[in-house]
Amino acid sequence: MNPVLEVHDLDVSFDTSVGSLRVVRGVSFSVGAAETVAIVGESGSGKSVTALSLMRLHDPDKTKISGSIKFKGTELLTLPEARMRTVRGNEIGMIFQEPMSSLNPLMPIGDQIAEAVLLHHDKSRAEARRRALDLLVQIGIADPQRRMREYPHQLSGGMRQRVMIAMAMACDPEILIADEPTTALDVTVQAQILGLMRDLKTRTGSSIVIITHDLGVVAELADRVVIMYAGVKVEEGTIAEIFSQPAHPYTVGLLGSIPSLGCSRSGGPLTEIPGQVPSPSRVAVGCSFAARCGLTSSICLEIEPRLENVSPRHGVACHHKIRTPVA
Positive or negative torsion for Cα 170, 175, 180, 182: positive
Exposed, middle or buried: residue 22 (CB in 10 Å: 0-12, 13-18, 19+)? middle
Please tell me the distance from the alpha carbon of residue 46 to that of residue 28, in angstroms, as a whole number.
13
- 245: Cβ–Cβ under 8 A, 6 or more apart, which residues? 314, 323, 325, 326
pLDDT, tens digit only, all 327 positions of the chain: 689 999 999 999 999 888 899 999 999 999 999 999 999 999 999 999 999 999 999 999 999 999 999 999 999 999 999 999 999 989 999 998 777 788 999 999 999 999 989 988 889 999 999 999 999 998 888 899 999 999 999 999 889 988 998 898 888 899 999 998 887 778 888 888 888 888 888 888 999 999 998 888 898 899 999 999 999 999 999 999 999 999 999 999 998 887 764 445 555 677 788 888 988 887 678 999 999 999 999 999 999 999 999 999 999 999 998 865 444
Q: Shortest CA distance to 22 belongs to which of 67, 65, 52? A: 65
Is-above-0.75 flag for pTM?
yes
Is residue 269 within 8 A of residue 263, CB to CB? The reply is yes
Q: How many alpha carbons lie under 13 Å from residue 34 in its C-beta half-sphere?
A: 8
Q: Shortest CA distance to 94 belongs to which of 166, 198, 148, 7? A: 166
Q: Shortest CA distance to 92 belongs to which of 115, 74, 65? A: 74
Amino acid at the residue 63: T
Q: Shortest CA distance to 165 belongs to which of 181, 151, 149? A: 181
Q: Shortest CA distance to 50 belongs to which of 227, 307, 304, 305? A: 227
Please tell me the distance from the alpha carbon of residue 231 to that of residue 26, in angstroms, as a whole number.
8
Q: Please tell me what DSSP assigns to residue 198.
A: H
Please tell me the distance from the alpha carbon of residue 133 to that of residue 254, in angstroms, as a whole number.
40
Rg (CA), the chain: 20
> pLDDT per residue over 233-261, tens digit each?
999 999 999 999 999 999 999 988 877 64
